[in-house]
């Protein structure tokens, strides 16, 4: 039996016990120089045992930028040095480089702070330093041999609709996305990184194509959504629905868009604008989205809108925070992806079924409760808890546990193995 360890390289650093959990200036600096969060993450390499040389995960990057929470397996100074070298190479002055790691207390750069860390708002204060490590780890060759599997159950794990795990809540959101795309409306899907937002978007696109539905999805190709303007949305609509070239002025583009949408609608089509990473949108763009939604032909709306983003999007859609976007906010339904919690066993059973394994071949009975305990944290000073039982986090935890089983010669993942990760 494996003895539980008190510490692990997969936990965050102990100094976070006293951390203030505020966004840091690096986020606004990246926005000002035109570098997206994803681009920054790709520029930083890790140094962990299984992650050596791999880019920093987007989730770990978000933890650093938004909460000033740092991973333990890759030293903080290593991340800082690579970041400063990247920014220096882009011509960022030294006096600004000196400030990037400071806390952004006043949140003056509202649009540069997509994570819900608005002015004077702090992240959850945990009663433990054991914040789950969210960096991706690959299943080792030794673990594949140990469990007699030939495919990683968590890599390229969704190849068809049958591979999509749907709890009752996720099923509702799936149908809400479909209904909005087909009948019109404004819908915001909110969820933590790794909660399944992108999977549901892909599922919607697959369903439209598979069922040959007369719904045309429109997806702006701009990676950095903080740069997504009304003009860029117009161009996306024009290019996705016609062979025309976008006109020069915004007013001309708007007229062109309305004409194209009306013609496509009269041909029997519905249209849905899909925007991912919507937490990076500016308030000005939110206001413009309402104008797009208002386009109509008689009683029929010409464009439905589905925006998808991390929890900070929910903060953006609070009219107390963004009163100037109230007209859009009041018309927007918000659907939130929740942690797996009571669906953990079903979720893992589906993943293992794909590779021809039964849960009893991989997990001991006490493993599930240990996972819930590992990924559930109490807020200091209150009775509330925070669950991180999201698919990506669970996948990473199980991968690390399988690797550890192989290293230690333990037959199955049990509570002690989970505690040792």
d(CA 418, CA 414): 6
pLDDT(13) > 60:
no
pLDDT digits (tens, 9 = 90+) for 228-253: 889 999 999 999 999 999 888 889 99
pLDDT(261) > 80:
yes
In which element (H, E) is residue 271 found?
strand 270-275
Averaged confidence pLDDT in the chain: 82
Greater confidence, 280 or 65?
280
Confidence band for 73, pLDDT divided at 50, 70 and 90: confident
Reply yes or no on domain 168-336 having CATH 1.10.3720.10.
no
pLDDT(269) > 90:
yes
Q: What is the per-residue pLDDT for 104?
A: 65
Q: What is the mean pLDDT of residues 315-320?
A: 89
Q: What is the per-residue pLDDT for 379?
A: 63
Greater confidence, 133 or 350?
350
Sign of CA dihedral 205, 207, 210, 213: negative
Q: What is the per-residue pLDDT for 92?
A: 84
d(CA 61, CA 387): 19
CATH no. of 129-158+340-421: 1.10.8
Q: What is the per-residue pLDDT for 34?
A: 73
In the chain, % of residues over pLDDT 70: 84
* Radius of gyration for the chain, computed over Cα atoms and rounded to the nearest angstrom: 23
pLDDT digits (tens, 9 = 90+) for 147-206: 999 889 988 888 888 889 999 889 999 999 999 999 999 999 999 888 999 999 999 999
Q: Where, residue-wise, is CATH 1.10.8 in the chain?
A: 129-158+340-421
pLDDT(299) > 60:
yes
Q: Are 127 and 373 in contact (CB under 8 A)?
A: no
- For residue 296, what are the β-bridge partners? 301
pLDDT digits (tens, 9 = 90+) for 365-394: 999 999 999 998 876 555 677 888 999 999
- State residue 9 phi and psi, 5-degree precision: -70, -10
Q: What is the mean pLDDT of residues 285-307?
A: 93
d(CA 375, CA 370): 9
Q: What is the mean pLDDT of residues 73-80?
A: 85
Q: Where, residue-wise, is CATH 3.40.50.300 in the chain?
A: 168-336
In which element (H, E) is residue 66 found?
helix 58-67
Confidence band for 38, pLDDT divided at 50, 70 and 90: confident
d(CA 280, CA 266): 34
DSSP class of 158: -
Q: What is the per-residue pLDDT for 398?
A: 94
- State residue 12 phi and psi, 5-degree precision: -80, 165
pLDDT(45) > 90:
no
pTM above 0.85, yes or no: no
Q: What is the per-residue pLDDT for 128?
A: 40
């Amino acid at each position: 039996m494996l003895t539980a360890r008190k510490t692990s390289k997969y936990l965050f650093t102990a100094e976070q016990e006293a951390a203030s959990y505020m966004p840091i200036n690096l986020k606004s600096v990246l926005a000002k120089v035109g570098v997206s969060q994803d681009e920054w993450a790709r520029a930083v390499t890790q140094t962990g045992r299984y992650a050596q040389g791999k880019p920093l995960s987007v989730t770990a990057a978000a933890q650093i930028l938004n909460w000033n929470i740092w991973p333990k397996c890759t030293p903080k100074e290593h991340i800082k040095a690579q970041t400063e070298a990247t920014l220096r190479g882009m011509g960022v002055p030294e006096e600004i480089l000196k400030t990037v790691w400071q806390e952004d207390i006043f949140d003056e750069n509202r649009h540069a702070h997509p994570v819900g860390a608005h002015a004077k708002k702090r992240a959850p204060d945990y009663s433990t330093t054991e914040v789950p490590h969210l960096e991706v780890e690959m299943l080792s060759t030794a673990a594949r041999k140990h469990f007699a599997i030939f495919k990683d159950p968590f890599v390229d794990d969704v190849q068809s609709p049958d591979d999509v795990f749907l709890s009752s809540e996720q099923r509702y959101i799936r149908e809400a996305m479909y209904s909005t795309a087909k009948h019109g409306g404004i819908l915001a899907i909110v969820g933590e990184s790794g909660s399944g937002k992108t999977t549901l978007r892909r599922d919607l696109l697959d369903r439209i194509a598979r069922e040959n539905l007369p719904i045309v999805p429109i997806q702006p190709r701009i990676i950095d959504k903080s740069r997504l303007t009304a003009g860029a949305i117009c161009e996306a609509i024009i290019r996705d629905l016609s062979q025309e070239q976008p006109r020069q002025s915004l007013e001309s583009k708007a007229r062109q868009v309305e004409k194209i949408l009306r013609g496509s609608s009269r041909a029997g089509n519905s249209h849905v604008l899909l925007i991912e990473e919507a937490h990076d949108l500016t308030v000005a763009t939110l206001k413009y989205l309402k104008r797009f939604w208002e386009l109509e032909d008689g009683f029929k709306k010409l464009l439905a809108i589905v925006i998808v983003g991390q929890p900070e999007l929910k903060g953006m859609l609070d009219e107390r925070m963004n009163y100037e976007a109230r007209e859009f906010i009041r018309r927007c339904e918000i659907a939130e992806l929740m942690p797996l919690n009571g669906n953990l066993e079903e979720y893992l059973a589906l993943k293992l079924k794909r590779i021809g394994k039964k849960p009893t071949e991989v997990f001991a009975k006490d493993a599930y409760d240990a996972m819930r305990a590992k990924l559930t944290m109490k807020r200091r000073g209150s009775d509330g808890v925070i669950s991180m039982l999201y698919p990506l986090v669970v996948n990473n935890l199980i991968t690390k546990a399988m690797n550890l089983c192989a290293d230690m010669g333990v037959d199955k993942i049990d509570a002690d193995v989970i505690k040792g990760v």
